[in-house]
Amino acid sequence: MARFRTLVQTLVAFGTNAYLLFPFGGSVIYQGPLKAVCHPGLNCYSCPGALLSCPVGAFQNFLASIRFRAPGAIPHPGFIVVGYLGFIGTMIGRLPCGWLCPFGFIQDLLHKIPVRKFSLWEPLRWVKYGVLAVLVVILPLWLVDSSGLGLPWFCKLLCPAGTLEGALPLILLKPSLWATLGFYFWNKITILTLLLILMIFISRPFCRMLCPLGAFYSLFTRMTLVHLEFIEGNCVECGACTRKCPTGVKPAQEFDSPECIMCLKCLDACQFRALQFGIRRPPTPEKKRTFSPL
Amino acid sequence: MGDHSRPFPGKRRALLGGFMPKKAVWLIIIFTLLFILGINSGELNFLLNLGNTICLSCIGVG
C-alpha cells in the first residue's frame, strides 16, 4: 500500500504539473482551459508547470473581488470552488491530503531523511482553522482598497507551496521580477525555509498546523462516505497503528479524526485487522467480527 | 483482547464516530447545486482568467 500511495502521489504531482514548454519560448505559466479546474490538493497555479488552479488561491480571489465596485462588475462568491471542495470533502474527507496533494508529497519525501524524529505539540493542530478563517476568508473580504478589491492574504503572507512552486521558479525565469521583491517575499522565504527544516524532523508539519485546505476538508471527516472503521473486538492495543500514523492520530481512540489524511499506513501496520477502510455503512446488527492470527 | 461483553463493539464505535448518511447525502446535493450555480453564474470564466495570470501575491511582490 505504501508503494502504491507513493506511485499515486508521484503521478499526480508530475501529471498535474506537466506543462513543460515554459523554458522553450512558451508562456511562463500554462494558460489553457484546464486552468478552469481546481487541483484537489494545494498546488500553486503560478507554478510554471501547473495545469490546474489552486483551490485556496482561487477561493481567496473570489472573496477578494466580491466588494469590487466597477461598472458592470458581477460579484462572484466562489460557489464553484466551495461546491467542488465541499463535494470532495463529503465524499472522501482528507484523502486528497494523503494521496493527491503535491505539497504533502514533498513533506513525505523530506521526512524520509534519516534523522531523529520529533512529535508535534498537539494544540498546534488548531492553528490551521484560524488560518482558514482569518487569512483565507476574513482578510480577503475585509481589507479592500478604494475600489473594493481585496488580496489573497494566505498566498501573500504564508503559503509555502506558492513560494516553492511559484515564486522561486518564476523569479529564476523572469529576472525582471527581482526589482519588485520586498518584505512579503523575504517573509515567505523565511517561512518556507523554517517549514522545510521542520518537515525533516516532524511528519507533515504544514498539513497539521497551517494548511487551510486540510482544515476545510477536516470539517467533513465525521460524515464522509468513505472512512476508516475501527473494529474494537480485533484490537490487541499493540499501538502499531499509532506509531505509523504520520499525523499523530491514535486510530484506536480517535474515530474519524479530523487529522486523519487516510494514508492507510495504519491499515498496513495492523496485523489483527482491527482497521478497515471502506464505505461508511448503516449500523445494522450483524455477527461480531473477530480475527485471531493464531 | 478487546471488550467482547458488548454486542457489535466495532459497529458501536463507528456509530459514535458520527455515522450520518442523511447529512452526507444532503451535503453532496447542496455542494453539487452550489457548483452548478457557480458554473452558470460565470465563475468558470473568472477562474480561467485567474489561473492564466501570474499570482503576484504568491511570489511576494509588494
Say what the pLDDT of residue B53 is: 87
The dihedrals phi and psi of A53, each to the nearest 5 degrees, come to -85, 160
In eight-state DSSP terms, residue B17 is T
Q: What is the pLDDT of residues A33-56, one digit of tens each?
A: 999 999 999 999 989 999 999 999
> Chain A closest CA to B2's CA: distance in Å?
5
Query: A288, B4: Cβ pair inside 8 Å?
Result: yes
Closest chain A residue to B31, measured at CA: A83
User: What value of ipTM does the predicted structure carry?
Assistant: 0.85
Q: What is the pLDDT of residues A68-86, one digit of tens each?
A: 877 777 788 999 999 999 9
Q: Which of A62-71, A177-186, A227-236, B35-44 has the highest mean pLDDT?
A: B35-44
Cα B54 to Cα A50: distance, rounded to the nearest angstrom: 11
Closest chain A residue to B30, measured at CA: A83
The least confident of A17-21, A24-28, A57-61 is A24-28
> Chain A closest CA to B30's CA: distance in Å?
8
Place of cell 521526512: A111
Does B6 score more than 80 pLDDT?
Answer: no
Say what the pLDDT of residue B17 is: 46
pTM assigned to the model: 0.87
